Structure 1
Amino acid sequence: MSVACLSAEDINPELKKARVDIQPILSFSDKDKIGAIQPYDDTLEITLRIGGYDEKRVMVDQGNGAKIMYPDLYKGLNLRPEDLTAYDSPLVSFDGKVVIPKCQIKLPAQAGSEVMEVDFIVVDAYYPYMAIVARPWLHALGAVFSTLHQNVKYPSSGQIRDIIGAQLPPLEKEELIEFLKRNVDVSVWSAYEALGVDPSFIYYNLNVNPSVTPKKQPPRRSSKDHSDAVRDGMKKLK
C-alpha cells in the first residue's frame, strides 16, 4: 500500500494562483536615501514626459487634487486655443490667494512605460515649477512618493520602478547665493528703477473673472470693543 501526500496547492488551486498574482510591495528604506542630499527641506521635483517632451521642474504634491500647468510649459508645448477646454472654477494658491484659471487641457504624462492621461488646469500665474501633478495622477499610476527619500515608486510589468527627484547640490546652491550677493548692485527693488523695461512685463493685473460684474462691498464699521482695543494698543506703542 502506498500513501500519497497532497500539497496545499493540489488541495486548493487558488493558493497557487494567488501566489502568482502577488504584487510587489511599494516601500522605502534607508537604501533609498543614498544619493539624496541630507539634511534638506526640499519639495519633490521630478522630470516627467508631458505631451511628448521631457519636462523638468514638475512638482509632486500629494496634498493637492488639481493638476496645474504654468505659462512656461503652455507656451513651450505650442498649444493651440482649439486644444483647450473651458474651466472657470477658482483655485486657491499656496499663499492663500484666489486664482482664476484660463482653461484646461488633457495631455499624456509618461513615467517609464506607463502613460496616463492628465487633465491639466492652465493657470496664468508665476511659479518656479513648470507643472504640478497631484493625487489623481499618483492614484492612477498606483504610485507612492517620499520627500525624505526624494523618490516616486510605482508598479510596472510586475516590477517596482522609480523616479528620482532633482535636488540642487549644496556646492551649486552656495555658488548661486554668492553670485546673487556679488551682483546685488544690479538688482532693482522698484519699478521706477527698471528703466527701459516693457511695461507689459511689470504691470500688475488683478486675477479676476472679467465676465463677473464687480460689486462694491458695504463699508465695515468696527464695534466699540474693537475700536477701544485698537486705541489701547496704539497708546502702548507711544
Structure 2
Amino acid sequence: MARLLAEDVNLVPKRVRVEVRPALSFSDEDKVGTIQPHDDALVIMLRIGGYDVKRVMVDQDSGIKVMFPDLYKGLNLKLEDLTAYDSPLRSFDGKVVILKGQTRLPIQARSEVVEVNFIVVDAYSPYTAIVGRPWLYALGAVSSTLHLKVKYLAGDWVEELVGSQSMAVQCLVATILHQPRVEPSVFTERSS
C-alpha cells in the first residue's frame, strides 16, 4: 500500500507557481488631499544628481527631459559637463529654445534610480525640470494628472510620488507674471 501511495504522488502534477504582482491603478481614494475638480500640472519633487529638486513637472506628452537654468546652476554644472545636442527644440509657446547641450544624471524616485539624459536649455521656466514619457517608461511608472500622482512597482509593492497642487499653482502664477506686457491694440475707425 505504501508503494501505491508513492506512485500516486508522482502522478499528481506539480502546482504552477503564479506570481501575483500589485496592479498600478488609481481610484477615488487617490484624490484625497487634492482640491477637485482641478486642471493643475503634475509637479513633484525628485532627487536629481544627488540633490532634492522641487518643481519638477511630469509631462506625459513630452518625449524629452528638460533642465532649466535654475537647476543647471544649482547643480553647479559647467559647460564641460555638457555634450552637444543639436536637434531643434520649441517651447510651449512655439518659440525656438536656445540649447546649452545635454547631460546624463541619475533621477531617484524613492527606492528606484534611473539614469537619464537631460537637455539643458537657456529659457525661463517656473519649473526646474520637465520629465516625460522616457523617464516614466524607464521607471515602469504610470502617472495621473487627475490624481496628481506617479505610481510604479518597487519589488512587490507599489510606490507613489504625490504631486504638489500648491506648487503647481505657484508655477502657473509665476508663468503669468513673467509674461511680457502686451500693449493694447489701438483701433481707428476708417472714414468712408
User: Same fold per TM (> 0.5)?
Assistant: yes
- Distance in 1 (alpha carbons) for counterparts of 2:63 and 2:56: 15
Matches within 5 A, 1:21-32: 21-32=19-30
Aligned to 1:225: none
Aligned to 1:128: 126
The unaligned stretches of length 5 or more in structure 2 are 174-179, 183-188
Q: Structure 1, residues 159-196: CA drift from partner, whole Å, max 9, x if none?
A: 00000000119xx98xxx9xxxxxxxxxx969xxxxxx
**Partner of 1:45: helix, strand, or coil?**
strand
Structure possessing the higher radius of gyration over alpha carbons: 1
Q: Write the letter of the residue equivalent to 1:123.
A: V
The unaligned stretches of length 5 or more in structure 1 are 178-187, 191-234
**Percent identity over paired residues:** 60
- Distance in 1 (alpha carbons) for counterparts of 2:98 and 2:46: 25
**Partner of 1:132: helix, strand, or coil?**
strand
Q: Write the letter of the residue equivalent to 2:23.
A: I
- Distance in 1 (alpha carbons) for counterparts of 2:191 and 2:46: 54
Aligned to 2:145: 147
- Is the counterpart of residue 100 in structure 1 residue 92 in structure 2? no
**Partner of 1:74: helix, strand, or coil?**
helix
Matches within 5 A, 1:111-190: 111-168=109-166
Structure with greater proportional helix content: 1
For the 8 Å contact 1:58–1:132, the answer to whether it is kept is yes
For the 8 Å contact 2:46–2:54, the answer to whether it is kept is yes
Query: CA 1:236–1:85 in 2, change beyond 3 Å: closer, same or farther?
Result: same
What is the Cα-based RMSD across aligned positions, in Å? Answer: 3.0
**Partner of 1:41: helix, strand, or coil?**
coil
* Structure of greater relative contact order (alpha carbons < 8 Å, 6+ residues apart): 2
TM-score scaled to structure 1, two decimals?
0.66
TM-score scaled to structure 2, two decimals?
0.80
- Distance in 1 (alpha carbons) for counterparts of 2:191 and 2:57: 44
- Distance in 2 (alpha carbons) for counterparts of 1:237 and 1:37: 54
For the 8 Å contact 1:88–1:100, the answer to whether it is kept is no
- Distance in 2 (alpha carbons) for counterparts of 1:50 and 1:64: 18
Q: Write the letter of the residue equivalent to 1:117.
A: E
Q: Write the letter of the residue equivalent to 2:88.
A: P
Count the aligned residue pairs.
173
> How far apart are 1:39 and its partner, in Å?
1.9
Structure with greater proportional strand content: 2
Aligned to 1:35: 33
Aligned mate of 2:13, from 8, 11, 19: 11
Aligned to 2:82: 84
**Partner of 1:102: helix, strand, or coil?**
strand
Q: Write the letter of the residue equivalent to 1:82.
A: E
Query: CA 1:103–1:236 in 2, change beyond 3 Å: closer, same or farther?
Result: same
**Partner of 1:128: helix, strand, or coil?**
coil
**Partner of 1:38: helix, strand, or coil?**
coil
- Distance in 1 (alpha carbons) for counterparts of 2:139 and 2:190: 58
